[in-house]
Amino acid sequence: HLMGCMLSAASCNQWLCKTILHTDSYSAEQAQIQPEALGNNHVYFLPYLMGERSPLNDPDARACFVGMNMATTPAEMYLAVMEGVAFAIRDSVEVARSLGIVIDSSKICGGGAKSPIWCQMQADITGLPVSIPKEKEAACLGAAMIAAVSDGRFAGYQEAADFCVEMLHQYQPNPSARLEKKYRRFCALYNAALAINAIE
């Protein structure tokens, strides 16, 4: 079993909206982000608000914005947060690929699955088709499926999944050179921050 687990993903979105922008309207904030801005944003965000697990294993990692200037808008900060989370997810995907594991698709559930722009962004950044299940709260559904298999209602987990899991939509990746360049810069930022933190 290989698992890449972030400590703060959607919670970065929540932190920005509630603590910095003082709003509960995620959709209104995201509506200000234009599709052509993806990959063209000059702001970067390291999403390590609580340290990081995969693949850094660094409890002392910290979040930061980089690249802001006097013209930076809240929409650009919001986009940077969403991109930063997607880049961090790609970090774990790249570890799996380096081990020879072939990943041909991905699924998103939970609160992040409600955001079309974030789902498309994750498809573009990872280079994987991203599917959205009908049941957004997959943890609850998974627990119910395990119980149903244990109770003998299904012969196995695959049968339970085939019966219970329905996909609503799939986002196709649109990779670009500018996103690749931004991902490489994102990777360099953690090492730069690490060097700064090491200064006594």
DSSP string over 88-154: HHHHHHHHHHHTT-----EE--SGGGG-HHHHHHHHHHHTS-EEEES-S-HHHHHHHHHHHHHTTSS
Give the rounded percent of residues in the chain with a pLDDT score beyond 90: 70
Q: What is the bridge-based pairing of β-strands 106-107 and 44-46?
A: unpaired
Lowest mean pLDDT among 33-37, 85-89, 112-116, 171-175: 33-37
Counting beta carbons within 10 angstroms of the beta carbon of residue 193, is it exposed (0 to 12), middle (13 to 18) or buried (19 or more)? Answer: middle
| pLDDT score of 196 more than 90 | no
Residue 78: which pLDDT band, with cuts at 50, 70 and 90? very high
Residues 59, 53: Cα–Cα separation, whole Å: 7
Which amino acid is present at 1? H
> Closest by alpha carbon to 193, among 40, 20, 58, 9?
58
pTM for this entry? 0.91
d(C-alpha 124, C-alpha 171), whole Å: 9
Nearest Cα residue to 51 out of 182, 187, 189, 190: 190
What is the overall mean pLDDT for the chain? Answer: 92
pLDDT number for residue 96: 94
167 phi, psi to nearest 5 deg? -95, 135
Instruction: Sort 5 into a burial class: Cβ within 10 Å, 0-12 / 13-18 / 19+.
Output: exposed
